[in-house]
Amino acid sequence: MRLSTMTNLFYEDREDQKNFLNSVRRTAAVGFKVMDFCMCPFQRHETELLGDDWEAKTYEIANEAARLGVEFSQSHLPYPKPLTRRKTAADEGCEKNEFFMWATERAIRVSGILGVKWAIVHPVQKSADVDTERDVAYNHVIYDKYLTLASSLGVGLAFENMADVDNKRRFAATAPDLCAIVDSYNSEYVGACWDFGHGNRVFADQCAQVRMLGDRLKATHVDDNVGKDDLHIIPFMGTAKWPEIMKTLREINYGGDFNFELASCKRMPPELKQATVEYIYKVGQYLMSL
């Protein structure tokens, strides 16, 4: 298990055509040598990798990462809106929206070039009420084509646990739902990602859920909150039980990376971002020592 972070900590200017490149350089300078290449900006039309020259720019990032000794072990693909937040089935940011589907395919191809092992995806829910068997089948309808492409590039898909929203239970908020998806594929290219912030919103003891996943767990999103909103704050600033979490990951012999997914720099003044990321790195080192 290695300390990792998403490339979003220094991702600052949506007009900057070298956002990813600059972010990787600044993040590596703090000490992070393993990263999750976060492509959530794809769905907001914010990235330099949506143009016709995306491939050349991706190789430029890959070459710079190699020079810096950085490995991209994970990526985050564009993610669909929760069912309760949609205006229509093909609303922008939904799994049937044309741009969203195009951006997801582009993100998988970028992942392949960067040597990503696990690309994180959000499970989808077919209708208002959760029905695990029906929803697992619907995820096959949506994701099978992406798995075919991803696996051909050596990239696996890791389904992430969701958090309940709008006072409604959400499919894949629980380990049994995630297990059902992963087991339905029976593929070395399909696994689970556990988001500890999501888990802290749903469970008083999320460690039992992590144990249930066992060796299905291939990736993590590390963030904290106070059990309600998805704050993505630094561990120990919320209520997640980090000593117990670290113990559980070691108990199940988790072999993936311990990857920060934080929004701590989102509203931070530019003058304070460097110090904030340095602090995040120190927190990560402490967690890895537990």
Element (H, E) at 246: helix 242-251
Using CA atoms, how far apart are residues 134 and 131, in angstroms rounded to an integer?
A: 5
Non-local (6+) Cβ contacts of 176 within 8 A are: 132, 212
Burial of 134: CB neighbours in 10 Å, binned 0-12, 13-18, 19+ = middle
- CATH code reported for the domain at 3-289: 3.20.20.150
Tokens of 203: 């469970």
* Integer CA distances (angstroms), 55 to 105, 112, 114, in order: 13, 11, 11
Q: Give pLDDT tens digits along the chain (290 positions).
A: 999 999 999 976 665 667 899 999 999 999 999 999 999 999 888 888 999 999 999 999 999 999 999 999 999 999 998 888 888 888 888 899 999 999 999 999 999 999 999 999 999 999 989 999 999 999 999 999 999 999 999 999 999 999 988 888 899 999 999 999 999 999 999 999 999 999 999 999 999 999 999 999 999 999 999 998 999 999 999 999 999 999 999 999 999 999 999 999 988 998 999 999 999 999 999 999 99
Could you please report the per-residue DSSP string of 253-280?
T--S-EEE---TTSSS-HHHHHHHHHHH
Taking the model in full, what pTM does it have?
A: 0.96
Nearest to 120, CA basis, from 133, 130, 111, 128: 111
